[in-house]
Amino acid sequence: MEITIRIRRQAESGSPDYKSYALDVDPGTTVLDALMRIKGEIDGTLAFRKNCRNAICGSCAMRINGRSALACASRIRDVADARGEILIQPMGNMPVIKDLVVDMTSFWKHLDQVDPYVSTAARRTPEKEFLQTPEQRAAVEQAGNCILCGACYSECNSREVNPNFVGPHALAKAQRVMADNRDDQTAQRHALYNQPEFAWGCTRCFYCNEVCPMGVQPLDQIQKIRHELLTDKATEPNTAMRHRRVMVRQIKESGWLDEARFALQVVGRDFKGLWSLVPLGVRMAAKGKMPLRHRPIENCAQVRDLVEAIQKEDTKS
């Protein structure tokens, strides 16, 4: 089939430009093979990363029609539009070195910040290797499938505005080591991950889950870390945790959220927090948006009983 690949080109310090390349390819060709043909047959100056061509190494992540994906795992017939056009751009949230090659320094630095290794002390193996049961191995299976391609980091909405947020790849790895029965650093990890730049920095935009080519589903892993933090009595409480606890408490009390009281109980606990709410409160009250009358839902006792029954079972398990 006749296709046109439109590629965002950029020299090291220059401004970006788009260049189109026409090719005749088999519809089953991968985007990576098409890029290699462009480089080999049309324009040798085109820069992109590649290695295994098999969705194992994670080198060839790029934006294909605005969505981060592995070029080697994307077939032309699936990504070309009705006119046979495909748009190729470098990944986001990282500066461009040249064309489709981005500087992944912050990506690796952030990964390192979660201490992404099964603890050294636990790895002292005097006589033989550690054995894991199939169940113990299964606990690390999903997050362990990450190939560090950068697709999730490229689309992460929190990372877009907060350069200190470690990102979905790092937190998926954090969950993987936390869930590993050989790791003995649980308390230290809980303290480290219980920070706004770590587990609580995610805004739950779902982009990481959407683009992950390996089914790691980083958001799901982040929410597992949060679960661990919330259920560990030793975790230092913070506003993000209070947000979750007040929500459950209010659902028990009246079935639904009493927004004004929610804000006071979560944010307005100290003078600074309370002060930060004053302008919002005044503004909402002036427009008649301050929710003052809060009545429980019908059959509220039923919801309370349900939540309490689950809490009792969860405590037992």
Residues that bind another protein (CB under 8 A): 65-67, 157-158, 160-162, 165, 196, 200-201, 203-207, 209-210, 223, 226-227, 230, 238-240, 243-245, 247-248, 250-251, 255-259, 263, 266-267, 276, 279-280, 283-284, 287-291, 294, 297-300, 302-303, 305-307, 309-311, 313-314
Question: In the bound complex, what is the minimum distance in angstroms from residue 302's beta carbon to another protein?
Answer: 4
Q: Are 139 and 205 in contact (CB under 8 A)?
A: no
Helix, strand or coil for residue 15?
A: coil
Closer Cβ to another protein, 22 or 248, answer by number? 248
CA distance 22 to 85: 9
Question: In the bound complex, what is the minimum distance in angstroms from residue 244's beta carbon to another protein?
Answer: 5
Nearest to 154 by CA among 200, 98, 110: 110
Tokens of 75: 């077939």
Question: In the bound complex, what is the minimum distance in angstroms from residue 150's beta carbon to another protein?
Answer: 17
CA distance 255 to 259: 12
Closer Cβ to another protein, 37 or 304, answer by number? 304
Q: Are 8 and 86 in contact (CB under 8 A)?
A: no
Closer Cβ to another protein, 44 or 66, answer by number? 66
Question: In the bound complex, what is the minimum distance in angstroms from residue 8's beta carbon to another protein?
Answer: 14
Closer Cβ to another protein, 153 or 207, answer by number? 207
Closer Cβ to another protein, 50 or 67, answer by number? 67
Closer Cβ to another protein, 43 or 141, answer by number? 141
Nearest to 13 by CA among 96, 107, 104, 103: 96
For residues 10-38, one letter each, b for 16 or more C-beta atoms within 10 angstroms of the residue's C-beta and e for the rest, the string is beeeeeeeeeebebebeeebbbbbbbbbb
Question: In the bound complex, what is the minimum distance in angstroms from residue 212's beta carbon to another protein?
Answer: 12
CA distance 256 to 35: 53
Question: In the bound complex, what is the minimum distance in angstroms from residue 123's beta carbon to another protein?
Answer: 30
